[in-house]
Structure 1
Amino acid sequence: MNILRTLLVAVMGAMLCLPLDSFAATKKVIVGFTRAPKDHEKNLVYGARGRIHRTHQHIRAISAELPEEEIARLKQDPSVAYVVDNIKFTLIRPAEPLSVPSPEYVDSWGVLRIGSNVAASRGYKGAGIKVAIVDSGIDYNHPDLKDNYRGGYNFVNNTADPFDDDAQSHGTHVAGIIAARDNGTGVVGVAPEASLYAVKVFSATAGGDMDTVVAGIEWAIDNKMDVINLSIGYSGDIYSIYPDIFKPLKDVCDRAYQAGIVLVAATGNDNRETISVPAAFDSVIAVAATDQNDQRAVFNTVAASSYGAKVELAAPGTYIKSTVSGGGYALLSGTSQASPHVAGAAAVLLSSGIADANGNGSRADEVRARLDATAKDLGDPGRDKYFGWGLVDLSASTDQTYKLHIEKKKGMPKLSTQSITLDKGSYSLQVRNNGLERLAVKSVVGSCKEFERVFATGFTSPLEELNASVTLDGSQTTLVFTPSGDIGSSADITITKLAR
């Protein structure tokens, strides 16, 4: 949509005596400051004959409406960091399909394709993880969603009722992909036990202003969400030329990521080498769409999954059956459907107990790294512009099975020692012996240098198989294996994390 707005003023005869500046065109803007806005900053806006719409809490900015001729003067004030148009974002609308395949082919196929059922069989279903859907709202009465719905906010009307009134039920469809209940009816989501929060920033007809989207993400920060899905977008072409006009949104996305939230967004359906905002930001996982054959999604003769160097992951996005308002279901296609597959995957991975490996107080970067590292490579080897690191794969990312081969070597015992670092949780250990006389296993928590003995076992036969279990209470624990026996004797060790 056009960035510039025109204010049409009906001039009645009785109004002709008003001062000329009464007819000045106004513009919706976001004013950024060098510090958090207080009375001084608000008075600057009022002094420029502005009306304040919203004072933001996590970025140094005020949303306001100002006379156009005042904007240039306001920019000259040393307290002002920037003034940008409060541009209007749109939902990334589903594309019209060329044809519709049989229902048997499409029912929850995306959830299966990314291995969500395998993760669920391991006990990882997103339980306890809070997912904010920044969108058009949610039909929280839907039988597949009501048990997982936990609340939200309507920033369009500033009420506590974020019901989805969009004609295509955009937000409700996204919600079902993420967390429709596994209740024997309808569809099932990627994370069927995750908690859903509706952050309504789009009206039924008018889209959503950037400051409203910013406010929605601020709400997610304040309410300690774990994951944010953003199936929304603005032209990546504009961002590549004028990145500064998106600074308020970029700042709040960066702030959310720093707060430990995993942000996921759709790349767009424009079939161009340009990624929509906010997916183009470094703090956000940009998700492209794939079809049932793991190929780049082509929605019709015009629309296809947008691509570019910023694409990080790919996920199913064609003929996705999910929930719609009124208790029903519908097939929709687009990157808006791909993004929630990854948001749900992030919730599942968080519920698996993935640790804060770098100790920075956030697990968002570990989730991102695990999803990237375990993705199924598609297209050119490694990261490419169509699929990023590949198709998200929960079967691989929740497979916490580790294998070690340990061998008794000549020389000091430490030359034969092997170690592995594990997250908190319970594990089974299977040891297949090949000639060792004894195997000692000790643990060290974090950087502690004092070893806590876990167990040590002797073998009664050279080919014996032993099974044991161990519970690790530290956020991360290193297990150290030391073999005893003849030179060349060995053992194969399989360590599997047990479902909670």
Structure 2
Amino acid sequence: MTVFQPRHRRVLAVPLGMVMATALAFLPDVSASAADTGGAAASLSAGTTDATSLSYVVNIRPGHGTSERVQRAIDRAGGSVVIAYDEIGVIVVHSSNADFAKSIRGVPGVDSAGATRNAPLPAQSTTDVGTPEVLSSQQVAAADTRATDGQDPLEPLQWDLPAIKADKAHEKTLGSPKVTVAVIDTGVDDTHPDIAPNFSAAQSANCVSGKPDTTYGAWRPSSTESPHGTHVAGEIAGAKNGIGITGVAPGVKVAGIKVATSQGYFYTEAVVCGFVWAAEHHIDVTNNSYYTDPWYFNCTDDPDQRALVDSITRASRFAERKGTVNVAAAGNESYDLASDSITDPVSPNDGTPSDRVIDPHKCFDIPTQLPGVVTVAATGAKGLKSSFSNYGLGVIDIAAPGGDSTSYQAPQPPATSGSILGPLPGGRWGYMAGTSMATPHVVGVAALIKSTHPHASPAMVKALLYAEATATPCTDPYDINGDGKVDAVCEGSRNRNGFYGWGIADALAAVGG
């Protein structure tokens, strides 16, 4: 499998057979045009675009709503409103006026405004594509012969389930169908036999434009688009039905909220739409295995980037106030997110990136570093921090299996790959690795907690998630590839540190085991 250096955007998955901690896999991502409104969002006018149009977010002070003054200012500045989320004071606007954000920032009632992208609509495409390792029919058949009573056919290859005691948890409960998790991602193939039994179409949507499209099937990727969201959905809620794999919480419901364009970008307006949709459709837990494009880190001393942080903070907090736990991947570059500086070579990934040195205390990977969001690091089959996983004392909340190079962390037989097995569109299964894969394990455990404690608030679910995690001490020295050099430094105690946060997620404890 080809390994690519970061040039475009990335979902938080890395390629198999990786030999460099910073290597990333790029998957073709998904899109569908947004047509219908959904939830309580008010559509003020149809957004119009041309070859030079950009998308913007305008953030209004609480209580102002979409005031007539702001609407007139948007019109005068050459903006066309796509949708206004009055619940959180965020307006999505298209404009071909390069000075739109600057001209709108001084309007009374406007807190912040900024461009969500650098490339004109639609975003530019890329040819940097990597694919997951797909299981052959022979591998599927071989795994089936090793399955024991009560196991799905491919479960013997899922070393990640016993790593968090999910196999033992399933002896007590598979989770409640009254609990729904949402995969905010590249789209979910709900026709897959491991996903179909648990899929909730009524709670699914396409948010790519920033305005929810509720057309039936709009949440799906096409046959040429990314398998990422489908893999994640199966890891969480793959049905225990005698077919394929088993999810961490195989009895809960799963919804798909599609937010990635066909060119592979997760833009702010789509992410805002995703969180608001989740908030207004009774989603208990969201899975966020991505960073918001085009900036890996959004610096609050830049007015455009500050506006993006503001918008998504408002949306994620709104979802939590409505009862949703938001869980996000920490990233795959082996960055110390608690350090004093980081060199970001990939931003803006839809323009001309440069090596910029940022202060991670002022520049944020969103949504994972936002207040209230659970930040997840990845571990491999040996229970060590994955070679690629970002880390940082006080930043990482919890860890879970995300896979690693098999040469670094090989699983116990009968499992054969150090990566994570999950469903792929078209009724297939395959391996992927990354903090993208760790996050759904934590989401699954959170769903089991919510199943066990149906009246628990998001704060309580998070408290139980951390308290019940298996405390894991620092790996010191951390020389994952065995070359005699320290690859990362873990700080903190056994009870909380920069590699594993409060510990590794524990599914058995989540169900009272």
- Bigger relative CO (Cα 8 Å, ≥ 6 apart): 2
Choose from 151, 170, 176 the match for 1:120. 170
Choose from 271, 287, 291 the match for 2:376. 287
Q: Structure 1 pair 109/116, CA: closer, same or farther in 2 (3 Å)?
A: same
- Cα deviation for residue 94 of structure 1 reads 8.5
- Cα deviation for residue 217 of structure 1 reads 1.2
Q: Structure 1 pair 59/209, CA: closer, same or farther in 2 (3 Å)?
A: same
Residues 1:306 and 2:390 aligned together: yes
The one-character-per-residue Cα deviations of 1:209-246 (angstroms, maximum 9, x if unpaired) are 21011111111111111111111114554347656231
Alignment of 1:340-351 (within 5 A): 340-351=440-451
Whole-angstrom CA distance in 1 between matches of 2:462 and 2:249:
17
Question: Do the aligned residues in 1 keep the contact of 2:160 with 2:420 (CA within 8 Å)?
Answer: yes
Choose from 141, 146, 165 the match for 2:196. 146
Whole-angstrom CA distance in 1 between matches of 2:428 and 2:131:
20
Residues 1:160 and 2:216 aligned together: yes
Alignment partner, residue 264 of structure 1: 327
Q: Could you tell which deviates more after superposition, 342-351 or 54-63? A: 54-63
Residues 1:46 and 2:75 aligned together: yes
Question: Do the aligned residues in 1 keep the contact of 2:298 with 2:365 (CA within 8 Å)?
Answer: no
Choose from 420, 424, 427 the match for 1:327. 427
Alignment partner, residue 238 of structure 1: 298
The one-character-per-residue Cα deviations of 1:398-424 (angstroms, maximum 9, x if unpaired) are 226xxxxxxxxxxxxxxxxxxxxxxxx
Q: Structure 1 pair 222/150, CA: closer, same or farther in 2 (3 Å)?
A: same
Question: Do the aligned residues in 1 keep the contact of 2:300 with 2:306 (CA within 8 Å)?
Answer: no
Whole-angstrom CA distance in 1 between matches of 2:314 and 2:158:
35
Choose from 27, 31, 38 the match for 2:58. 31
Whole-angstrom CA distance in 2 between matches of 1:354 and 1:206:
36
One-letter amino acid matched to 1:256: A
Question: Do the aligned residues in 1 keep the contact of 2:376 with 2:397 (CA within 8 Å)?
Answer: yes
- Cα deviation for residue 47 of structure 1 reads 1.7
Question: Do the aligned residues in 2 keep the contact of 1:156 with 1:202 (CA within 8 Å)?
Answer: yes
The one-character-per-residue Cα deviations of 1:298-319 (angstroms, maximum 9, x if unpaired) are 2xxxxx0011231101000011
Whole-angstrom CA distance in 2 between matches of 1:281 and 1:237:
12
- Cα deviation for residue 69 of structure 1 reads 2.7
Choose from 165, 177, 180 the match for 2:235. 177
- Cα deviation for residue 64 of structure 1 reads 1.0
Whole-angstrom CA distance in 2 between matches of 1:77 and 1:240:
20
One-letter amino acid matched to 2:446: A
Q: Please report the TM-score for the alignment, with normalisation by the length of structure 2.
A: 0.66
The one-character-per-residue Cα deviations of 1:2-52 (angstroms, maximum 9, x if unpaired) are 99xxxxxxxxxxxxxxxxxxx996542111112221443222211211122
Residues 1:317 and 2:422 aligned together: no
Whole-angstrom CA distance in 1 between matches of 2:245 and 2:226:
18
Larger Cα Rg: Structure 1 or Structure 2? 1
Structure 2 gaps, min length 5: 1-6, 10-49, 134-138, 147-154, 338-363, 404-418, 475-493
Residues 1:385 and 2:498 aligned together: yes
Alignment of 1:465-476 (within 5 A): none
Alignment partner, residue 397 of structure 1: 510
The one-character-per-residue Cα deviations of 1:467-491 (angstroms, maximum 9, x if unpaired) are xxxxxxxxxxxxxxxxxxxxxxxxx
Whole-angstrom CA distance in 2 between matches of 1:252 and 1:305:
26
- Cα deviation for residue 285 of structure 1 reads 0.4
Structure 1 gaps, min length 5: 4-22, 299-303, 357-362, 401-500
Tell me the secondary structure at the aligned position of residue 221 of structure 1. Answer: helix
Alignment partner, residue 367 of structure 1: 461
Whole-angstrom CA distance in 2 between matches of 1:52 and 1:2:
28
The one-character-per-residue Cα deviations of 1:412-469 (angstroms, maximum 9, x if unpaired) are xxxxxxxxxxxxxxxxxxxxxxxxxxxxxxxxxxxxxxxxxxxxxxxxxxxxxxxxxx
Alignment partner, residue 136 of structure 2: none
Alignment of 1:34-113 (within 5 A): 34=61, 35-66=64-95, 67-87=97-117, 107-113=157-163
Question: Do the aligned residues in 1 keep the contact of 2:279 with 2:320 (CA within 8 Å)?
Answer: no
Whole-angstrom CA distance in 1 between matches of 2:231 and 2:132:
16
Alignment partner, residue 465 of structure 1: none
One-letter amino acid matched to 1:288: A
Whole-angstrom CA distance in 2 between matches of 1:74 and 1:238:
20
One-letter amino acid matched to 2:321: Q
Question: Do the aligned residues in 2 keep the contact of 1:307 with 1:386 (CA within 8 Å)?
Answer: yes
What is the root-mean-square deviation of aligned Cα atoms in Å? 2.9
The one-character-per-residue Cα deviations of 1:54-87 (angstroms, maximum 9, x if unpaired) are 2124320211123123432321111211112214
One-letter amino acid matched to 1:146: A
- Cα deviation for residue 187 of structure 1 reads 0.3
Tell me the secondary structure at the aligned position of residue 233 of structure 1. Answer: coil
Q: Structure 1 pair 24/198, CA: closer, same or farther in 2 (3 Å)?
A: closer
Q: Please report the TM-score for the alignment, with normalisation by the length of structure 1.
A: 0.68
Q: Percent identity?
A: 26
Q: Structure 1 pair 227/352, CA: closer, same or farther in 2 (3 Å)?
A: same
Question: Do the aligned residues in 2 keep the contact of 1:375 with 1:392 (CA within 8 Å)?
Answer: yes
Residues 1:188 and 2:246 aligned together: yes
The one-character-per-residue Cα deviations of 1:98-145 (angstroms, maximum 9, x if unpaired) are xxx997897222122111222221225243101111111111111111
Question: Do the aligned residues in 1 keep the contact of 2:57 with 2:93 (CA within 8 Å)?
Answer: yes
Alignment partner, residue 208 of structure 1: 266
Tell me the secondary structure at the aligned position of residue 298 of structure 2. Answer: helix
Whole-angstrom CA distance in 2 between matches of 1:365 and 1:314:
18
Tell me the secondary structure at the aligned position of residue 208 of structure 1. Answer: coil
Tell me the secondary structure at the aligned position of residue 286 of structure 1. Answer: strand
Tell me the secondary structure at the aligned position of residue 197 of structure 2. Answer: coil
Question: Do the aligned residues in 1 keep the contact of 2:175 with 2:252 (CA within 8 Å)?
Answer: yes
Tell me the secondary structure at the aligned position of residue 83 of structure 1. Answer: strand
Question: Do the aligned residues in 1 keep the contact of 2:195 with 2:239 (CA within 8 Å)?
Answer: yes
- Cα deviation for residue 206 of structure 1 reads 3.8
Alignment partner, residue 432 of structure 1: none
Question: Do the aligned residues in 2 keep the contact of 1:52 with 1:64 (CA within 8 Å)?
Answer: yes
